[in-house]
């Protein structure tokens, strides 16, 4: 998670707000604070009333969002300051990929304050206790100018810039990836422990070419990640903190379920280790039991907390019957195209590793639901049944990848056609003009959308594999436009595993 330095404001000079964990909450009224949905109209009202806009951007599954809701946002002084000087906006980041990608470095909850023109003034990461929040809100009112947490956005490479990863930069990225590996505890990173699926997949591909160091790192990480699989219900916890694998944060998020399932299935296909297949099956049984909808789509996440704001370590130490007596943590039952496509893609990987027709049937049912329920004219896809903004790159991209995986698994030309249509929609709606890469959102709004690294990694890989199937120049050009963004040194150094993987695929 990220940290954010507040602007020096009198006696608050040098204050650092630290992200203590992920969090968030859906847009709804809270006791004492009349939360509003995000819209340009909020800013028009802020200009008219000479107020500031306070954005609480979180996730419905997050423990620290719940804590902040029960403490900070129920403090009478915080409520009074918000009422007198701010327009409060609350957004569930899963529902708005454009805002989520823009502020992902700040973790959840991300707290952002704007003026009426939509200019960012300050950005804070993580839980903010009541007294600190009081001081922050007062300081911003006293000096409503941008602080040091508001930095200019990185300038992407020009559209006609170099679309090649230089040998020097490639070597630097490989060294970065190796240096960020924890040789004592395993896994990439030294604070939060989780399965970095790009790093593992890249290492698996390197292992096929005889890189024994890469194989050791991949196998060790796969073995350590097993500690984050729920032994009772299956499914994988998001991550462990404190630099070890035995301090889990208990939320179960679809991105982690799908990518862990896919990675373990691919690892089993490569190395035939039965532990990898068991891990994949444990995640699969959790998806079936908790996140599969009757329609064949998949839900978004399951909360970390049984009681919002109360740590659930004792609860997750119980067996199935004891847990159910106390209740089941809330499942976010939104049905998003992106999350369902992630699940379908992962199930296809499990089918390819095992040949189990029932698993393939689940993947096909999910893909058909996306087509039937979230389709847009031209081959793209909505996020939800109706979207306040968008469309978003992530939905059409995830769907395209799932369709292409199904084509490769079944040979059915229909899925290749649907993948090509998704690629055409992406090229038409999300390509950044005058610069490399593809933006998160095609919608227009107060905050311009920009490319996000993970999405461009995924798009480069999708377009590359699609080109290998079709040999159409448009698909190669799609990959190169994303790769040119990833070859920007500032971008590449932040995500060496994903960038190396995208270029290795190409």
Residue-wise pLDDT for 114-166, tens only, equals 999 999 999 999 999 999 999 999 999 999 999 877 776 655 566 565 568 89
Is residue 498 a contact partner of residue 198, using CB atoms and an 8 Å limit? yes
What residues have CB less than 8 Å from 271, skipping those under 6 apart? Answer: 219
Round the average pLDDT of the chain to a whole number and report it: 91
Structure tokens, 446: 């107060």
pLDDT at residue 385 is higher than 90: yes
Lowest-pLDDT range of 248-252, 280-284, 443-447: 443-447
pLDDT at residue 5 is higher than 90: no
What residues have CB less than 8 Å from 243, skipping those under 6 apart? Answer: 182, 185, 190, 191, 193
* pLDDT band at residue 2 using 50, 70 and 90 as cut-offs: very low
Q: In sequence order, what E strands does 299-412 have? A: 301-302, 331-332
Whole-angstrom distance, CA of residue 409 vs CA of residue 360: 9
H or E element at residue 113: strand 110-114
* pLDDT band at residue 1 using 50, 70 and 90 as cut-offs: very low
Q: What is the pTM of this model?
A: 0.91
* pLDDT band at residue 433 using 50, 70 and 90 as cut-offs: confident
pLDDT at residue number 13:
28
Lowest-pLDDT range of 127-136, 140-149, 181-190, 470-479: 140-149
Is residue 97 a contact partner of residue 337, using CB atoms and an 8 Å limit? no
pLDDT at residue number 144:
94
Cis ω before 109 (30° cut-off from 0): yes
* pLDDT band at residue 106 using 50, 70 and 90 as cut-offs: confident
The stretches of 143-225 forming alpha helices (DSSP H) are 167-179, 197-208, 212-225
Whole-angstrom distance, CA of residue 176 vs CA of residue 391: 35
List, for residues 209-226, the tens digit of each pLDDT value: 999 999 999 999 999 999
Question: Among residues 208, 205, 202, 209, which one has the least CA distance to residue 176?
Answer: 202
pLDDT at residue 25 is higher than 70: no
Domains of the chain: 3-142 (3.40.30.10), 183-253+300-333 (no CATH)
The Cα-based distances of 155 to 86, 97, 436, 488 in angstroms read 31, 21, 10, 9
* pLDDT band at residue 7 using 50, 70 and 90 as cut-offs: very low
List, for residues 392-429, the tens digit of each pLDDT value: 999 999 999 999 999 999 999 999 999 999 999 999 99
pLDDT at residue number 164:
80
Burial 27-39 (b: 16+ CB within 10 A, else e): beebeebebbebe
């Amino acid at each position: 998670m990220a940290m954010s330095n507040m602007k020096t404001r009198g006696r608050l000079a040098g204050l650092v707000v630290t992200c203590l964990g992920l969090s968030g909450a859906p847009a709804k009224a809270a006791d004492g604070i009349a939360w509003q949905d995000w819209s340009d109209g909020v800013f028009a009202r802020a200009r008219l009333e000479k107020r500031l806009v306070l954005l609480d951007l979180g996730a419905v599954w997050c423990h620290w969002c719940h804590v902040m809701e029960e403490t900070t946002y129920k403090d009478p002084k915080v409520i009074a300051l918000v009422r007198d000087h701010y327009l409060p906006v609350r957004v569930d980041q899963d529902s708005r990929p454009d805002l989520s990608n823009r502020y992902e470095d700040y973790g959840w909850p991300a707290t952002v304050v704007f003026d009426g023109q939509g200019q960012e003034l300050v950005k804070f990461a993580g839980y903010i206790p009541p007294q600190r929040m009081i001081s922050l809100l007062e300081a911003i009112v006293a000096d409503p100018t941008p602080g040091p947490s508001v930095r200019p956005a990185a300038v992407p490479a020009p559209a006609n810039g170099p679309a090649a990863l230089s040998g020097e930069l490639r070597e630097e990225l490989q060294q970065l990836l190796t240096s960020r590996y924890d040789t004592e505890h395993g896994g990439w990173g030294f604070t939060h422990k989780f399965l970095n699926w790009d790093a593992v997949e890249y290492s698996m591909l390197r292992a096929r070419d005889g890189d024994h160091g890469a194989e050791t790192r991949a196998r060790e990480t796969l073995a350590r990640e097993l500690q984050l699989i729920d032994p009772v219900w299956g499914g994988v916890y998001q991550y462990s903190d404190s630099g070890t694998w035995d301090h889990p944060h208990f939320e179960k998020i679809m991105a982690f379920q799908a990518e862990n399932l896919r990675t373990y299935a691919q690892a089993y296909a490569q190395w035939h280790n039965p532990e990898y297949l068991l891990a994949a099956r444990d995640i699969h049984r959790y998806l079936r039991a908790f996140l599969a909808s009757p329609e064949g789509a998949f839900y978004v996440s399951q909360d970390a907390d049984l009681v919002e704001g109360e740590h659930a370590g004792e609860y997750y130490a119980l067996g199935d019957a004891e847990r159910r007596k106390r209740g089941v943590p809330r499942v976010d039952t939104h049905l998003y195209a992106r999350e369902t496509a992630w699940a379908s893609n992962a199930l296809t990987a499990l089918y390819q590793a095992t040949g189990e027709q029932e698993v393939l049937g689940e993947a096909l049912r999910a893909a058909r639901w996306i087509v039937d329920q979230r389709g847009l004219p031209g081959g793209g896809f909505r996020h939800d049944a109706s979207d306040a903004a968008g469309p978003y790159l992530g939905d059409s991209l995830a769907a395209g990848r799932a369709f292409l995986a199904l084509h490769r698994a079944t040979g059915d030309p229909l899925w290749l056609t649907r993948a090509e249509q998704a690629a055409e929609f992406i090229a038409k709606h999300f390509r950044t003009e005058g610069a490399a890469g593809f933006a998160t959102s095609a919608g227009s709004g107060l905050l311009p959308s920009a490319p996000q690294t993970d999405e461009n990694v995924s798009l480069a890989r999708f377009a590359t594999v699609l080109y290998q199937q079709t040999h159409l120049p448009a698909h190669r050009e799609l990959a190169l436009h994303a790769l040119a963004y990833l070859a920007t040194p500032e971008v590449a150094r932040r995500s060496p595993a994903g960038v190396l993987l995208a270029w290795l695929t190409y």
